[in-house]
Each structure stands twice: as C-alpha cells, then as structure tokens.
Amino acid sequence: MSDQKHQRRVRYKGTHPKTFQEKYKELQPDKYAETVEKVIQKGGTPAGMHRPICVKEIMDILHITPGEIGLDATLGYGGHSLEMLKCLEHKGHLYALDVDPIELPRTKERLEQKGFGPEIFTTKLMNFRDIDQVVLESGPLDFLLADLGVSSMQIDNPERGFSFKMEGPLDLRLDPTKGISAAKRLETISQNELEGMFLENADETYSAEISHAIVRELKKGNDISTTTRLQEVINDALQFIPESERNDAVKKSCQRCFQALRIDVNNEYEALYDLLEKIPSALVCSGRAAILTFHSGEDRLVKKSFQKFYREGVYREIAPEPIRPSAGERNSNSRARCAKLRWAVKA
Ligand SMILES: C[S@@+](CC[C@H](N)C(=O)[O-])C[C@H]1O[C@@H](n2cnc3c(N)ncnc32)[C@H](O)[C@@H]1O
C-alpha cells in the first residue's frame, strides 16, 4: 500500500461562479469575449462591466460633430464616453468626470488602450456639481451628458456595500474616501429623520415600521454594519405582512431603503440640483444637454429645472416628454427598465 495520502480534488468553481471575485472570466472582458456575450444575451450585465443605456437616443440628441468640446459628467465604465469619442473623430475634446476613485483610473486606462489619450480625452476625479470649475479649463461646452446613479461595477462589488443581495460592509459611498458610510449614518440619525429619508428619497411604503426597527436595534446595542444585517432588520420589521406577499415586499423595501441611504450618504439630490443650476452657463448657444435618470425623485428635479429655464428663455427647446429605452433594451437589460431621458437645448 502506498503511504501517499489521498488528496481530495479541489472543486472547480470556474463554471459556476458564486462570488464577484470568482467571476474571473467576466472580469476580463477582452480575454473572455464569448463568456461576456453569453451573459449579455441572457439579459445580464457581466461582472466588472456596465452596459450603457439609451446610447442611440443620447447620440441622436447630442448630435456630436468633430471638433466639438463636450463633457461626460458621469464617466462610469466609459460606454457613453466611447461613443462620444468616436463621433469626435479625434478632433475636439471630451472631458469626463466621476467621483469614484476606484473605477475612474480603470476606465481611463481602458479608453487610453482604445486610442483615446490626453490629446482628445481628459478625466477628472470630481463631482459634477463643480462643473463650473471644469468649464474654466475646457471653455463653454457644445454637449453634456449625465447618466445618474451608480454603475453595475459599483453595485456588483460587495465591498462597496451597494447591494443587499451580497454580504458586505454597509457603505454605499461612491467615493469611499469621503463623508461617512451608510452604517455610520444610521448611528447618527433620529427615527423621525430616518423615516423622512426613506419616504423622500425612495417613497418607501413601510418607512415608519422600518425606521422604528432600525433605531430599536441600534438602541439595544446591536450594530447594523453589513448589507445582509440591514436586510435582516427590514425582514423582521415586515413580519406583519401575510407570508404569501412577504418575500416580494421585503425585496422591494430593501431596494428602496438602500436607494434612499445611497442618495443620502452621497448628497445626490444636492449635487444634481447644483449641476442643473449650472448647466445653462456651462453651454455654448445651441449647446445640448441630456440627462438619464433612474427614479422619480431625480426625474422630477430634472423636469422642473428644464421647464423653469425654458420658461425664462434660457433653453430654446426641451424634451416634451421623457424618452424611455426601447422595449428591446428594457427586456435585454434589466437595469434599463426604469430609465428616463430628458434633454434641453440652450437658446
Ligand atoms: C450610471 S453610471 C454611468 C455609466 C456610464 N455612462 C457608462 O457608460 O459606463 C453613473 C456614474 O456616475 C458617477 N457619479 C454619480 N454621482 C456623481 C457626481 N455627483 N459627480 C460625478 N460622478 C458621479 C458614479 O460614480 C458612476 O460611476
């Protein structure tokens, strides 16, 4: 008999990736194009990627011609930037902003490898509410896009804490080096204020029950510092819902409460308000702006601002109604389902 110990084979996880890190094929889109294509065909977004939404609609609105100067206020994975850069045909300049210090350098490098270096493309780690500072360098803009919210890379990375579906720290910051995490925010906020936050930022149906449950847990000395812990507390708070409806209700409440917290810790409404106020003076005459929103609170702000400046004669034309992604895009990309696109042209 051999004295060699029998070694159990390590289970191969590659074909059934379970965690973000294990999705190694999707994370290297250039090397594993076939895997990435399969995920897209099934209506998903490959890990580490973001599929740009309403690309054709946005390009039709922005109507970019070579030699123009423009701004992508929300670079993300760079899908929209790439299309804009193609329209410029290496003449003019595209500036792009993002507040995310983790993803921005990756996107910059990816676009540089595609042939868009500093002569045509400048990225800045900057909040779009400071667009006036960009214009000091770029000069007035011919076109501008803001594709609001979070990217798929941010949502899919459990360490960022954006999704209740994966265990991770309850952070939710677009820039984890600034401000306070969502977990810390929960520790500092009163029940009343939390209830208001859930209502105002996400129209949460059970804002009173959930905010009570969160504050009660914290007062008992039980921390709520991970995504799944917050999900548990929400689940416990909604035990009064009939069992047949509970799972669905908990999922929707989790989605809304995470959204509300994200908007809060990133001051998203304040940043959007500042951007909207500054767009008119950032554009040249006949300059075009397009804004893609993902929930009613954001869309309301954009609509009100565009209408106000239109009435004042600052904008020559604005979108009469929001544009929705085509049925085909909504079916093939679940993240496109609630998108609304509005545009304005400066007088
Ligand atoms: C929906 S993604 C953009 C996706 C991008 N259009 C693409 O094609 O990949 C939104 C991005 O905007 C960034 N962002 C959100 N709020 C911002 C702000 N106030 N200033 C700058 N960037 C912001 C997020 O970090 C995220 O990367």
pLDDT at 10: 43
Low-confidence ranges of the chain (pLDDT < 50): 1-3, 9-18, 20, 24
Which atom of ligand 1 is found nearest the CA of 174?
A: 25
78-135 pLDDT, tens digit per residue, is 999 999 999 999 999 999 999 999 999 999 999 999 999 999 999 999 999 999 999 9
Centre of ligand 1 from the C-alpha of residue 77, in Å: 9
End-to-end Cα distance, the chain: 89
55, 151, 175, 338: which to mutate for ligand 1, most atoms within 8 A of CB? 151
CATH number of this structure's domain 176-265: 1.10.150
Tell me, what's the pLDDT at 43?
A: 62
Distance CA 48, CA 311 (A): 42
State the closest ligand 1 atom to the C-alpha of 77, by its place in the atom list counted from 1. 9
- Which residues make Cβ contacts (< 8 Å) with residue 251, sequence separation at least 6? none
Task: Indicate if ligand 1 lies below 6 Å from the C-beta of 48.
Answer: no
Does the 55-152+269-346 domain belong in CATH 3.40.50.880? no
Read off the pTM: 0.88
Rounded-to-integer distance, Cα 220 and Cα 229, Å:
15
Cβ 271 under 6 angstroms from ligand 1: yes
Mutate to test the pocket of ligand 1, among 75, 155, 302, 341 (most ligand atoms within 8 A of CB): 75
Where do the structural domains in the chain lie, given as residue ranges?
Answer: 55-152+269-346, 176-265
> Has 147 been labeled as part of a binding site?
yes
pLDDT for the residue numbered 31? 60
DSSP conformation letters of 234-297: HHHHTTTS-HHHHHHHHHHHHHHHHHHHHHHHTTHHHHHHHHHHHHHHHEEEEEEEEEEESSHH
Residue nearest to atom 2 of ligand 1 (CA): 151
